[in-house]
Structure formats: C-alpha cells, structure tokens
C-alpha cells in the first residue's frame, strides 16, 4: 500500500490524529501505544519505543526487528516458532481487546453496545484493504475452520458432482468434504503433489490439471500446507479452475498475516483465514472472503437476528450467527493497522528471511536431515517442516521446550518430524539458538 494511502488507512481506522501524525514510525510509537523493554524482558505497556520507518529496514536489519519483537509480551527466554498454530498479539491489539471488553462489561446495555455496529464496519473496511478485496466481499467469522465449513456446507452439490482436494489440506477443508459427501452423494477426489526440491510450480500444477474433469464443481486447497510448508501457485490454479467454470476455495490460514495478499488478483471464489495465527490478532476471529460474483452460489450456515438486512449485504450474510465477542471482532482493525504500519511487504520479507535461515541452517549443519518444504520463494512461505534421521520427534518436541525454551510443533503422518514457523517477533539470534539445539540433539 503506497505511503499516502497507508496514512489515510491508519487515520481512518485508528482515529484521533491527522494522517501526517500517523506515519508508520509515529504510529508505532504513539498511535498504537507500542511498547518496548530491555533485551529478553517482557515489555511494560507504559514504555514506548518508536520504530524507524520500515523503508529503512531490510529483512535482516536486526536492530529494527528487535524493536518489533519488543512490541510482544513474550516470556523471558522463550523462542516461540509456532506461528502456524497460534501467535501472541502485540500490545496494541491486546490493549484494544481489553479496552473494548471492559467497555462492554461496564455497560452491557443496547445503548452502549450500539457503537460496535459502526466499529465492526470499520474493521471490515480495514480487513478488505489489507487483503485486496471489497468490503462487501468480507465476512468476519470465528476462524478458518468456520469459514471452510461455511463453504463446504453452503454449496449446492449432489450425485454426479465432484470436489477435488489437495491431500495436504487441513481437516476442515478435507475431512469435512467427506462428511458432506456422505450426506449429499457427490464424489471427493484427492490430489497428491511432490514436496521438497521436486515441488516446482509446474510439478505442483500438473496433478490438479489431470484431476479436474467435466464433473468437477469445486477445487479446494490450502495456499500453504500446514503439514509440509509447500505453497501452491494459487493464482494459476484459480485461473485454471475459472476457465472451466469450477469454483475455488483457498484456505489461507498460513498466508494471512504472513504474505502480502491481493485476493482480487488471486482470483479465488472463497478465501478463509484466522486472526490468531500470522495476523497476530484477536482470538476467535477470522475472515471469509466471498467474491461478489459468487455470493449467490453459497448458502449461509447460520441465520439469526438481523437476517433480513444481512441477506442483502454481501458477505455479511455469512456471519449472521448471533452474539459475538464484539471486542475481538472490532480489534481486528487494530491488528490490520499494526501490519500496515510495518508494511505487508516488509512483514513478508522478514518471514521469508527467517524461514530461509532455518532451512539453510538445517541443510548445512545436520547430516541426513530431510526438509519437506521447498527452497524456492514460489514454493514456500514461513512454515518449515523437516525430519531428522533416527529421531523420536515427539520426544524431541518436548525436549526442545523443556531444555531450550523452543516452542514448535511435532508432525505426524506423511511428513512426520518437526515444524518451525518463525514470525516477526523472532530474531536471527533465536534462529541460531534453535539450530544449535537441533544440532545438539541430531
């Protein structure tokens, strides 16, 4: 987002200051109330450290990214590399959630809560700007799982129809289709793709091209696999499906908040994501993108109070589910502003630099390591999955946390091993510490 547009965005959604005062470096120091402390200490919300303009920071400018790290209340000595599952929120997002929660608890009257209707629309506008969509195309859900199941259960499918899936999809975009198929009688087909060095755009595209048929109605895949770290060429797959009249569902749990997104350019019909992962936003909040031209193809899973208005309001009809945590919903605007202040491009560059350092360190220092995640930029993001030779990975997973304070994930199945998913609150020094720990256990 260009600088002038970013200032307008931040001014609109944070309010109370001029666009000039909300330049990223000023925003991070004042507008968002970001904080900082000494090395290795959880920051105090009363302390504030201004950040340099992101244009001055390269992906490996450790001084800059240590200041970003200071905006997160991480425990002393913790090396948290589990963004693919759950991220901490920075102080400004926490403060927004706490402030709105206290406001509701102080006065839960209809009159006091009226303001949340407008604040939710501001959050919707912020999210739409962040992902490159129209506000009428954004529904605010609880998480990726809810978004996936809304699509799975909302399409008219029956005998003779076919849904093609990537076999690396999350269960909510995988097993959920099997459950629905048993009810409605359509067929589910799964596509397998190469991993590691063999996972190139052409080799990833080919199995899908072969699988699509005249009976295929939906192509559903993860933008980046949570079990291998492989990234699919989403725009190319969506274009291929669209040319054949096939709807596309993209699970963006591992890219929303990690990579710069433009859903209009991607060309998907549906896109789902959670706030609590790479977006470092409130818990139990997420997005469901429904392309305007596809909204009449999807039935809502929830119909509640206000349906008469919601059904004529674009993707809002897919969030008509009764009482919500207003504080979490509206604080997504603050999370979007946090990302915009740093810059989505800068966030992506840092995430990729950290993941590349992990992959390179593993391959150079641990004999026999098998890295399932592709090395190329096109084939990967921030998720790194690997297997050490002759290792009990469940035991290693526990040992890394108990002995070294490293939070990661143990993987099972086809890509059994460990998963490291570093984010903007990690430093290159922490990557080195994690590698040293793995070398010691290899």
Query: Are 314 and 377 in a shared domain?
Result: no
pTM of the predicted structure, to 2 decimals = 0.90
Among the three residues 286, 307, 338, which one is the final residue of a domain in this structure? 338
pLDDT of residue 51: 58
Ramachandran assignment for 102, one of left (phi > 0), alpha (psi -120 to 50 degrees), beta (any other): alpha
Residues 328 and 220 in one domain: yes
> Which pLDDT tens digit goes with each residue over 211-225?
999 999 999 999 999
Q: What is the pLDDT of residue 337?
A: 95
Number of domains in the chain: 2
Q: Is residue 328 part of a domain?
A: yes
Beta-bridge mates of residue 287: 140, 273
CATH number of the domain bearing residue 407:
3.90.1150.10
pLDDT tens sequence for the chain (442 residues): 544 445 444 544 444 332 333 334 444 443 354 433 333 334 443 333 455 566 667 898 999 999 999 999 999 999 999 999 999 999 999 999 999 999 999 999 999 999 999 999 999 999 999 999 999 999 999 999 999 999 999 999 999 999 999 999 999 999 999 999 999 999 999 999 988 878 899 999 999 999 999 999 999 999 999 999 999 999 999 999 999 999 999 999 999 999 999 999 999 999 999 999 999 999 999 999 999 999 999 998 888 776 676 666 788 888 877 789 999 999 999 999 999 999 999 999 999 999 999 999 999 999 999 999 999 999 999 999 999 999 999 999 999 999 999 999 999 999 999 999 999 999 999 999 999 999 998 8
- My answer on whether 323 and 353 are in the same domain is no
pLDDT digits (tens, 9 = 90+) for 277-327: 999 999 999 999 999 999 999 998 888 776 676 666 788 888 877 789 999
* Domain that includes residue 424, residue range: 345-441
Q: Tell me: do 329 and 291 sit in the same domain.
A: yes
Do residues 143 and 281 both lie within one domain?
yes
Residues 125 and 268 in one domain: yes
Residues 290 and 428 in one domain: no
Give the pLDDT score at 259: 98
Place of tokens 């992906």: 59
Tell me the C-alpha to C-alpha distance, in Å, between residue 11 and each of 16, 36, 116, 372: 8, 23, 19, 43
| Residue 50 domain-assigned (yes or no) | no
Task: Answer whether residue 28 is part of any domain.
Answer: no
Are 230 and 334 within one domain?
yes
- The rounded distance, in Å, linking the Cα atoms of 381 and 375 is 9
Same domain, 293 and 364: no
User: Nearest-CA neighbor of 406 among 386, 435, 373, 381?
Assistant: 435
CATH number at residue 292: 3.40.640.10
Of 297, 320, 338, the one marking the end of a domain is: 338
Residue 20 lies in a domain: no
| Domain contains 24 | no
In a domain, 407, yes or no: yes
What is the predicted pLDDT for the residue at 125?
A: 97
In whole angstroms, how far apart are CA 60 and each of 329, 352, 374?
A: 33, 10, 21
Residue 420 and residue 273 in one domain: no
| Predicted local confidence at residue 360, as pLDDT | 97
Report angle CA 202, 207, 211 to the nearest 5 degrees: 140
Asked if the structure places residue 55 within a domain, the reply is no
Nearest 10 degrees: CA dihedral of 288, 293, 297, 302? 40
**Whether residues 286 and 429 fall in one domain:** no
Assigned domain for 302 exists: yes
Asked if residue 360 and residue 410 are part of one domain, the reply reads: yes
Tokens 């706030």 map to which residue?
Answer: 275
CA distance linking residue 253 with residue 286, whole number of Å: 9
Whether residue 277 contacts residue 254, with contact meaning beta carbons closer than 8 Å, is answered with yes
Among residues 338, 362, 383, which one ends one of the domains? 338
pLDDT computed for residue 45 by the predictor: 39
| Burial of residue 288 (number of CB atoms within 10 Å: 0-12, 13-18, 19+) | buried
């Amino acid at each position: 987002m260009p600088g002038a547009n970013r200032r307008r965005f931040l001014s609109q959604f944070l309010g109370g200051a001029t666009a000039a005062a909300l330049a990223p470096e000023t925003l991070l120091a004042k507008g968002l109330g970001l904080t900082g402390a000494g090395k290795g200490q959880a920051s105090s919300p009363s302390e504030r450290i201004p950040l340099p303009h992101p244009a001055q920071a390269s992906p490996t400018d450790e001084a800059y990214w240590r200041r970003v790290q200071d905006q997160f209340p991480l425990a002393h000595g913790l090396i948290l590399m589990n963004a693919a599952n759950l991220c901490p929120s920075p102080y400004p997002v926490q403060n927004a959630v706490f402030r709105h929660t206290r406001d509701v608890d102080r006065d839960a009257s209809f009159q006091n809560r009226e303001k949340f209707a407008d604040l939710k629309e501001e959050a919707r506008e912020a999210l739409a700007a962040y992902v490159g969509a129209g506000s009428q195309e954004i529904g605010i859900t609880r998480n990726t799982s809810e978004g996936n199941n809304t699509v799975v259960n909302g399409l008219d499918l029956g005998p003779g129809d076919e849904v093609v899936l990537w076999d690396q999809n999350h269960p909510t975009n995988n097993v959920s289709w099997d459950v629905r198929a048993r009810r409605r009688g359509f067929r589910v087909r799964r596509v397998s793709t190469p991993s590691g060095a063999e996972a190139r755009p052409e080799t990833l595209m080919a199995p899908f091209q072969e699988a699509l048929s005249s009976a295929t109605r939906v192509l559903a895949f993860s933008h980046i696999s949570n079990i291998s770290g492989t990234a699919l060429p989403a725009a190319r797959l969506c274009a291929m499906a669209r040319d054949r009249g096939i709807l596309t569902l993209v699970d963006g749990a591992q890219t929303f908040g990690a990579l710069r997104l433009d859903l209009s350019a991607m060309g998907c019909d549906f896109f789902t994501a959670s706030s609590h992962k790479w977006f470092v936003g409130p818990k139990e909040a997420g997005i469901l993108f429904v392309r305007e031209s596809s909204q009449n193809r999807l039935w809502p899973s929830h119909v509640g109070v206000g349906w008469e208005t919601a059904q004529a309001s674009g993707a809002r009809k897919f969030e008509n589910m009764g009482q919500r945590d207003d504080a979490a919903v509206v604080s997504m605007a603050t999370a979007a502003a946090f990302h915009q202040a740093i810059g989505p491009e800068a966030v992506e560059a840092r995430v990729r630099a950290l993941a590349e350092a992990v992959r390179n360190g593993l391959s150079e220092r641990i004999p026999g390591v098998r890295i399932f995640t592709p090395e190329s930029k096109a084939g990967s993001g921030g998720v790194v999955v690997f297997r050490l030779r002759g290792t009990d990975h469940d035991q290693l997973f526990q040992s890394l946390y108990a002995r070294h304070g490293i939070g990661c994930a143990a993987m099972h199945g086809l890509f059994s091993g460990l998963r490291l998913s570093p984010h903007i609150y990690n430093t290159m020094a922490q990557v080195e510490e994690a590698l040293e720990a793995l070398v010691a256990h290899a």
